[in-house]
C-alpha cells in the first residue's frame, strides 16, 4: 500500500430512485453508506499520519515503563517498518541504532495468534549498545526492566523467534577492570546464535593487583544444527595478577562443540577442540618460562555447565619452553609431549579435579636440580598416571606415577660423572 498525497475521500453517493417514506430498508442503506464513508475518511487520515502515530505509541509505551526514548520512523507499511531509535539519555544513550528494518505480520483477533504484531525479520544497521558487566552481573542500563518484563512472558510452544541480523554493531562494555570496545556482526534465528564475528581492539584493563594490556582479540562462531564451530584468538602485550604474569602472550581455541541450552544452563555432547598458547615470558606459581609454547587437542565429551561439569575424552599435545624453572629444577630446550591420553576433568562449586592416563615423553637439552645436572635427557613412558585437585579453598595437590625408560648424554652429581646413560625407572 502506498501513500496518496492530499487524497480526500469522496462523499458517499446516494443513488437516484424512488424515495420511500417511513423507516424502510432504503433509509438503512443510506445510513450504512454514510457510516462507511466516514470510516473510510478516518482510515485514510490515520494512514496518512501513520508514522507519527506509530512513533507516539512506541515512545509512550516505553515512557510508561520509565524508559526515555526517541524514535524517528522513516517508513511504515502494513508489513514493514524502518526507523531510527535511541533509548536512554540523549547525550549518552544506552542503545541506539542508525537504521532498523522490521518485517512483521499483523495478527487479527480471530486469527490463530490473536491480535498483535509478529516480527519475522529484524535488521539492525550500526547499532550501539552501552552495557556493564560487573561482579558477574550483566546490565543493559535502562533496558533492564524491559528485558525482565519480557522474560516473564515465555512464548507459547508454537511461537517462533524472528531472524535478527546485526551489521556493524558496537558494544561499549564497562567492567570492573575498565572499558572494552567490541565490534560485531551477528545472525540470530529463532533465538539461536547462528553466526558471530566479533573483534576487540586495544584495552588497558586494571583492577587492584590485576593488570591486562590487550592488544586485540577476535571470536568467530558458526552454528549448524546442534553443533557450533568456534575460532577464538587473543593477544596480550602483558598480563599481571597474583600468582600469574606474562609478556607477549597469545592464546587460541578452535574446533567444534555442542550448542548449549542457555535456558537449562547445560551443555552436553561431543567436543573436538584445540587450544594453543605462546608467550615470550610466562610465570605461574612455581613455574617460570621463556619462549613458552603449548598445543593441546581434545576429542571427547562434555556434560554440565560452568559451575558443575565433567569433561572426558582422549587428548594429545605438547608443552615446551626454551628455558624454564619449576621449583628448584631448571631446564633448557625442554619439551613434554603426549598422545592417546585419557583425560577426565570435573568441576563442582569452584573445586577442580583432573586425571590423565597414557604415554608421555620428556626431553630436555639440559636439566639441573641442586647438585644434579643432566644433558641430553630423554624420558619415555607408555603408561603415565597423573592427577590433581585445586580451588574452592582446598590445598592444591598433584601426583604422578610412571614406569619409564631414561636416556641421557651425560649426568653429573657432585664428584660423580657418567656418560651414555641408558636405563629404566620403575616406581616403588
The pLDDT tens digits for 182-197 are 999 999 998 899 999 9
Those residues whose C-beta lies under 8 Å from the C-beta of residue 94, and which sit 6 or more positions away, are 87, 88, 129, 130, 131, 140, 141, 142, 143
Instruction: Name the grid cell of 367.
Output: 636439566
> What pTM was estimated for this model as a whole?
0.80
**What pLDDT, on a 0 to 100 scale, did the predictor assign at position 168?**
96
Q: Where are the domains of the chain?
A: 37-200
Say if residues 76 and 55 touch (Cβ distance below 8 Å). no
Say if residues 317 and 343 touch (Cβ distance below 8 Å). no
Query: How many helical (H) and strand (E) elements, i.e. helices and strands, does the chain have?
Result: 3, 20
**What pLDDT, on a 0 to 100 scale, did the predictor assign at position 53?**
57
Q: pLDDT tens across 226-269, in order?
A: 999 999 999 999 999 998 999 999 999 999 999 998 878 889 99
Q: Would you call 109 exposed, middle or buried from its count of C-beta atoms within 10 A (0-12, 13-18, 19+)?
A: exposed
Instruction: Name the grid cell of 111.
Output: 486469527
**What pLDDT, on a 0 to 100 scale, did the predictor assign at position 2?**
40
**What pLDDT, on a 0 to 100 scale, did the predictor assign at position 415?**
87
**What pLDDT, on a 0 to 100 scale, did the predictor assign at position 15?**
44
Phi, psi dihedrals of residue 255, rounded to the nearest 5° = 140, -155
Say if residues 305 and 327 touch (Cβ distance below 8 Å). no
C-alpha–C-alpha distance, residues 176 and 237, integer Å: 20
**What pLDDT, on a 0 to 100 scale, did the predictor assign at position 34?**
46
Report the DSSP beta bridge partners of residue 105: 118
**What pLDDT, on a 0 to 100 scale, did the predictor assign at position 296?**
95
Nearest to 384 by CA among 400, 398, 408, 395: 400
Q: Exposure string (b/e) for 128-149, b if CB count within 10 Å is 16 or more?
A: bbbbbeeeeeeebbbbeebeee
Only one residue has cell 511504515, namely 76
Instruction: Show the low-confidence residues of the chain (pLDDT under 70).
Output: 1-62, 65, 107-116, 150-159, 392-395, 428
| Long-range CB pairs of 103-106, under 8 A, 24+ apart, other chains included | 103/79, 104/79, 104/80, 105/79, 106/78, 106/79
Phi, psi dihedrals of residue 155, rounded to the nearest 5° = -70, 155
**What pLDDT, on a 0 to 100 scale, did the predictor assign at position 17?**
43
**What pLDDT, on a 0 to 100 scale, did the predictor assign at position 221?**
97
Amino acid at each position: 500500500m502506498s501513500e496518496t498525497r492530499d487524497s480526500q475521500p469522496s462523499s458517499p453517493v446516494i443513488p437516484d430512485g424512488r424515495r420511500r417514506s417511513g423507516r424502510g430498508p432504503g433509509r438503512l442503506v443510506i445510513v450504512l453508506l454514510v457510516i462507511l464513508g466516514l470510516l473510510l475518511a478516518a482510515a485514510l487520515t490515520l494512514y496518512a499520519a501513520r508514522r507519527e502515530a506509530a512513533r507516539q505509541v512506541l515512545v509512550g509505551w516505553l515512557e510508561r515503563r520509565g524508559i526515555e526514548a526517541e524514535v524517528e520512523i522513516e517508513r511504515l507499511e502494513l508489513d514493514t517498518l524502518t526507523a531510527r531509535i535511541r533509548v536512554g539519555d540523549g547525550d549518552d544513550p544506552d542503545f541506539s541504532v542508525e537504521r532498523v528494518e522490521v518485517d512483521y505480520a499483523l495478527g487479527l483477533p480471530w486469527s490463530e495468534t490473536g491480535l498483535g504484531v509478529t516480527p519475522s525479520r529484524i535488521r539492525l544497521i550500526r547499532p550501539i549498545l552501552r552495557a556493564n558487566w560487573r561482579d558477574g552481573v550483566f546490565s543493559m542500563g535502562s533496558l533492564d526492566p524491559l528485558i525482565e518484563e519480557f522474560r516473564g512472558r515465555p512464548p507459547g510452544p508454537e511461537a517462533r523467534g524472528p531472524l535478527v541480523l546485526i551489521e556493524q554493531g558496537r558494544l561499549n562494555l564497562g567492567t570492573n577492570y575498565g572499558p572494552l570496545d567490541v565490534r560485531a556482526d551477528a545472525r540470530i534465528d529463532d533465538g539461536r546464535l547462528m553466526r558471530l564475528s566479533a573483534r576487540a581492539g586495544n584495552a588497558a584493563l586494571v583492577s587492584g593487583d590485576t593488570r591486562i594490556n590487550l592488544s586485540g582479540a577476535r571470536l568467530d562462531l558458526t552454528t549448524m544444527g546442534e553443533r557450533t564451530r568456534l575460532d577464538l584468538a587473543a593477544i596480550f602485550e602483558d598480563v599481571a595478577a597474583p600468582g600469574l604474569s606474562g609478556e607477549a602472550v597469545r592464546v587460541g581455541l578452535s574446533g567444534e562443540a555442542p550448542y548449549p541450552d542457555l535456558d537449562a544452563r547445560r551443555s552436553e555432547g561431543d567436543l573436538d577442540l584445540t587450544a594453543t598458547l605462546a608467550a615470550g615470558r610466562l610465570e605461574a606459581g612455581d613455574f617460570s618460562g621463556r619462549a613458552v609454547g603449548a598445543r593441546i587437542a581434545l576429542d571427547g565429551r562434555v556434560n554440565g555447565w560452568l559451575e558443575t561439569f565433567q569433561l572426558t575424552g582422549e587428548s594429545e599435545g605438547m608443552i615446551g619452553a626454551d628455558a624454564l624453572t619449576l621449583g628448584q629444577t631448571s631446564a633448557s630446550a625442554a619439551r613434554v609431549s603426549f598422545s592417546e591420553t585419557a583425560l577426565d576433568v570435573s568441576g563442582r562449586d569452584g573445586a577442580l579435579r583432573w586425571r590423565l592416563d597414557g604415554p608421555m615423553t620428556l626431553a630436555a637439552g639440559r636439566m639441573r636440580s641442586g647438585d644434579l645436572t643432566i644433558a641430553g635427557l630423554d624420558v619415555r613412558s607408555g603408561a603415565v598416571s597423573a592427577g590433581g585437585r585445586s580451588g574452592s579453598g582446598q590445598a592444591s595437590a598433584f601426583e604422578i606415577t610412571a614406569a619409564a625408560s631414561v636416556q641421557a648424554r651425560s649426568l653429573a652429581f657432585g664428584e660423580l660423572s657418567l656418560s651414555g646413560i641408558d636405563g629404566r625407572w620403575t616406581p616403588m
